[in-house]
Structures are given as C-alpha cells and as structure tokens.
Amino acid sequence: MTTPDNKDPGGNPGPNLMWGGRFAQGPAEAMRRINASIDFDRRLHAQDIAASRAHCKMLVARGIVAAHDGAAILDGLDTIAGEIEAGEFPFRVEYEDIHMNVEARLRELIGEAAGRLHTARSRNDQVVTDVRLWVRDAMDGLDGQLRDLQSALIEQAEAHAETVMPGFTHLQAAQPVTLGHHLLAYVEMLGRDRGRLADARARLNECPLGSAALAGTSFPIDRAATAKALGFDRPSANSMDSVSDRDFAMEFLSAGSIVAIHLSRLAEELVLWCAAGFGYVRLSDAFSTGSSIMPQKRNPDAAELVRGKAGRVIGALNTMLVMMKGLPMAFCKDMQEDKEPLFDAAETLSICLGASTGMIRDMTPDAEAMRAATAAGYLTATDLADWLVRVLGLAFRDAHHITGAIVRRAEALGRDLAELPLAEMQAIEARITQDVFEVLSVDASVRSRTSLGGTAPARVREAAAAARERFL
C-alpha cells in the first residue's frame, strides 16, 4: 500500500498517481528530473483551470458526471485558483505537471469526486488546449503592444513630417527623405506583423478538448459546448491531429521572429542615429547607460539589447521546428519541450516591444544634424536626372549617364550640385538651363516626391492620418 504522499511505508517513491495500477514502483530520480515540467508549465495554471471548468460543466450538462460532484469540482477549482493567485499553492514535482498538481490538490480538497473530472479527456488534449489558450492570450497582449509602438511612431512622424534627413541604401546616403517618412516605414512593417499574428490566431482558435488521448472518446460529450465556453470558434476536426499538432505554436514563433527582426532593425537604426558619426537623435538618461571606466559615455543599451534579443526569439522558433520535424503521429513526450521556448519568446517580445515604444517616445531628434548630413553624398543627383528627362526629353539611361558625369565634376571641384556653376554643367550637356537649380535643393527634392507612398511632407501627413485610421 502507499501513503497519501505517494510513498510506500519505507519512504521510497510509490506508484505514480496517474498510472499506479500498471507500475509497481515510482520513477528513478533521473527520470523525475527529465520528466517533470511543473517548474515551467505552472504558467498554464489559469488556462488549465479554465479548461477544467468548461469540461466539468459539459460533463454535468451531458449527464456524465452527477450535478453534486460537478458542483464540488467547480468549488474546488475556485479554491485552487485562489491559492495559486495568493502564492499559497503547494506545487509538487512528484506530480510532474500543472494538470496533475491541480488534480492532486483537488483530490485533497473534495475527495473521490476529483477523479471524475478526467472523464472523457486525456492529458494529451488537456495540455494542447491549455497551450492554445496561453498562446492566444500572448498574441492578444503582443498585438496591443505592437499597436502602442505604432502609435508612438505615428506621433513622431507627424511631428517630423518636414524634418529632412538622408535616406540610405547600402548604408550609403542616397536621396533626401523626411524623418516622418522613415518612421512610417516601421508602422507598415508592424501592421503586417499584427496581420500575421491575427491570421495565426484565427487558425489557432479551434478547441482540441475532447479529443482525449488520440482516438476521441466513447462518452457522449458536447465538444461544441466546451469550445464555445473557452472562446474557440469551433472544435478541432480530427482527434489525432488535435493532440499532435503544434503548428499553431510554430506559426506564432514564426510571426514572432519576424516581429523581432523588425524591432532589431529599428534598434540598429537607433544605435546608429545615437552614434557620434550620425548624431540624429538623443535618448534620455531613462534609456541610456554609462561606462564603468569612461565617464563621458552614453550608450544606447536598450536598443542594443532589443537587437540582441531577436536571436532568442529566432532560436525559439528553431527549437520548435527541430523538435517537431521527426515526430510520428500522434502525441510524443518530445512535445513537452514546446513550452519553454514559447514562454521565453513571448516574454522576450513583450520586453522588447515595451523598450522600443519607450525609446521612440523618449527620443529627441536633432533636425539640424540631420539637415547638415544631407549636404554630403550628392543626394539630389536623381532629381537632376529626372529634370533632364522631364525638361530635355532624354531617355532616363542617357540622363543617368550625364548626371554621373556632372557629379564627377562637382566632386572634383569640391562643390555640391546646387553650388556647381551652370557653365560646368553645360560643358557636359549644353542644353541645361538655369532652371535646373530649382530642383537641386534638398527641400525641393523632398517636396517633389508626391507619388503615393512618397516622402513629400504633404504625403507624410496624409500617410500618418491614414495609418491612424488603419491601425489605431
């Protein structure tokens, strides 16, 4: 016989609570250590209790469990939820996971009726239901944070719709743009991120509960009722797929990895813009750190950490993909390894989004430094080429060649295009007139980019207003 703490009279581990009828001994210590997941899956407590409540109510409604037992189960689950929230719940590693910890405590509270809760379900469908609920909650939280970051970017874009700066390709100055236009590019990226999460959420939102171990159940359950109670759109269609599917988790991590990459790109630009060679923005003390040896340093460590943490999220996706790649149908214990990368990735994304939003709201752009930077690199060369096409009727490739020669001449003379004497230009293309200087200033260049999605201040203001309508 075994004592209530699952040990035999000699103090050795006794048969496991879940399969004691088949096993005469408890697991070895090494087996306990590799098998137990309670240290991390305790995060699923709210989802596990919610799913158990829905399952219990369905069992009672279908006459599978007596009403008085159902009431006792629900009262016990309420007590357990309160204990967990108060930090008083006795999580025990010998019960392996959150599911059995809850069930064992329920048995202590209400006795034999606790065992009826597991009728017509398995830990296989129980855990995947809990994880779907958890991922769904994580998606909703991240969507709100992405929206907040979009809001911060839009506010800065509106404030800097006319602030000119160099636009870059290959990290080389290319054409003048506005800071507002640059920031709105990230608003679009984040909008697609939210769309990917919404798409993944829609596919995730099917309820596996009632699939049991893999084959369904012979009890007359109502899977549609539990699905509705838990906010799912429908029950899942195939019991084997239900318990062995983790593509919803892979899709979440895939979408999350793209979010992390976008945040990393924004962080990299903040790092560059804060550097002395750029000086485009300044972060306050709230988002900067100092040096233990160099008293003059102001380091954009928040941005650097966002950039670095992208690797953790991408790594979580790789962990999940590799874990799942060789598994046969249906459930395999390998799937226990889905939770730690999920939890870590979601927490990392949340931290990075909070830091990114804080930095965008905190940053102070230096309009003079950005304007000064547009003086280098012949940023209006394309405007000159366009003028040759528009006014002189040249083919663009010919205009491109002529402009390149003019830039080469300006570089030899140490002049900007707007400062180059007309005679120097006419020596290369005789038909150029004084009117060309109307397009060679940075402000004229920016104002001229009025095509849809362009950097003209008027277009930036329109785009910011449209983004508010679409995303906020």
Structure tokens belonging to residue 449: 């980019």
Is 236 in contact with 203 (CB distance < 8 Å)? no
Cis omega (within 30 of 0) for bond into 71: no
Among 170, 218, 292, 451, the one annotated catalytic:
170
Rounded Cα distance between 254 and 261, Å, is 11
Is 118 among the catalytic positions? no
Partner residues linked to 164 by β-bridges? 178
Residues 6+ apart with CB under 8 A from 13: 6, 7, 25, 26, 27, 32, 94
Is 170 among the catalytic positions? yes
Structure tokens belonging to residue 141: 């939280």
Q: Helix count (H) and strand count (E) of the chain?
A: 18, 6
Distances in Å between the Cα of 24 and the Cα atoms of 11, 94, 112 are 14, 16, 22
Rounded Cα distance between 272 and 304, Å, is 10
Pairing of strands 206-207, 172-178: unpaired
Structure tokens belonging to residue 173: 């100055």
Structure tokens belonging to residue 257: 């990895």
Which spans in 169-277 are helix H?
179-204, 223-229, 239-244, 247-274
Active site residues: 170, 291
